[in-house]
Amino acid sequence: MISRSKSDDLFAEALKYIPGGVNSPVRAFRAVGGQPFFVNKARGAHIWDVDGNEYVDYVGTWGPAILGHAPAAIIKAVQAAAENGTSFGIPNPFEVTMAKLICSFVPSVQKVRMCNSGTEATMSAIRLARGFTRRDKIIKFDGCYHGHADSLLVKAGSGALTFGHPDSAGVPASFTQHTIVLPFNHREAVKAAFEANRDQIAGIIIEPVPGNAGLYLPLPGYLEFLREITQANGALLIFDEVMTGFRLAKGGAQELFKITPDLSCFGKVIGGGLPVGAFGGRAEIMDCLAPLGPVYQAGTLSGNPLAMAAGIAALQELDRTDAFYRLEQSGQALEAGLREAAIKAGIAVTFNRCGSMFCGYFTDRPVHNLADAMTSDRERFKKYFHGMLDRGVYLAPSQFEAGFISTAHSPEDVEKTVAAAAEVFQTL
């Protein structure tokens, strides 16, 4: 049995000073039971905890580590930038380089504004959509998470046309009254919402490939439908590509599915592991932002030189290598191996994958939306999670989170993962 005594001691200490002992809820292992471990080193596709245990890592800082942990190009860029100062609060050259890179990678983005997190990016994009259209209502979808801004922490109402109600204590109901929550991959619900709220909907915000309820994909033609119905009704289409941006393809999910949104939100990969966010889109929309327009958005650390240097190094590395080909090859190998292992064990697993993002649900039905995802056997997932962890493979500690593959994952890492899963499946 693996010893994690040092982690246990640290967690006990953390509980005294940090709510729940963690600085982000999913790290607490509440969904899988047990206690979190503490990491003090990460390199490539591997992490080491404070007790010296080594794991193949498929969390990857929840997405940013597309090149693996501590890649030389990013470490070198951060060190060089830090020598000249860690923050200025004044424009710096890295900001211009980053903006040019994002606009060149993502054709729908003509102008971009940097911020410090995905939550800031989505919150600001929605404010901008409302300011540009002079409308109040926003459509979002069950299972799509867009950060913890008040108006986006919303549960679905009792029917397709009802407004959502707060998904967190501390959020007044009035803050969510303009947010309409609909089931993902359901065209008729979207049509009905526009019909019931004529000339009131500012836009639709969507994860084009939702990665916060596990992982499921848009049905064929669904994103095209959303593009058409927003254009027909004078609303904006906002792609939340905080997870998918620069990961599923050089230009993100919008390149993969050949869709042109009005606004896009980014994070994770463009920070190279440092805190970052960005939102961008058509110039006429972006020029509504202060100081040019009436929509206010600001941030002391926006465009931080360390984050910009790290992100630039990450994007340049992705651009000059065969990274996306290698990510797809690793994804295919992992998917095929896990499917075969589940079949041999007689375990019902629905495995969804899009490029280097994946999720396995313990259900025998296809998973296209949150309701489908909720049919997964979560008790079985708990056993699977801990079985994999004990065999040196770290997956997200929740059934409803995506896994991430990096260019640092080797064929041997994939083989070890499949072998571990084959053993664990036999025990479920």
CB neighbours of residue 15 within 10 Å: 14
Q: Three-state SS across the chain?
A: CCCCHHHHHHHHHHHHHCHHHCCCHHHHCCCCCCCCCCEEEEEECEEEECCCCEEEECCHHHCCCCCCECCHHHHHHHHHHHCCCCCCCCCCHHHHHHHHHHHHHCCCCCEEEEECCHHHHHHHHHHHHHHHHCCCEEEEECCCCCCCCHHHCEECCCCCCCECEECCCCCCHHHHCCEEEECCCCHHHHHHHHHHCCCCEEEEEECCCCCCCCCCCCCCCHHHHHHHHHHHCCCEEEEECCCCCCCCCCCCHHHHCCCCCCEEEEEHHHHCCCCCEEEEECHHHHCCECCCCCECCCCCCCCCHHHHHHHHHHHHHHHHCCHHHHHHHHHHHHHHHHHHHHHHHCCCCEEEEECCEEEEECCCCCCCCHHHHCCCCHHHHHHHHHHHHHCCEECCCCCCCCEECCCCCCHHHHHHHHHHHHHHHCCC
49 is catalytic: no
* Active-site option among 268, 361, 384, 394: 268
* Active-site option among 240, 262, 377, 413: 240
Q: CA-CA distance, 46 to 388, in Å (whole number)? A: 14
145 is catalytic: yes
Q: CA-CA distance, 337 to 419, in Å (whole number)? A: 9
Q: CA-CA distance, 188 to 119, in Å (whole number)? A: 29
How large is the C-alpha radius of gyration of the chain? 21
* Active-site option among 58, 145, 222, 394: 145
Q: CA-CA distance, 30 to 33, in Å (whole number)? A: 5
Active site residues per annotation: 145, 240, 268
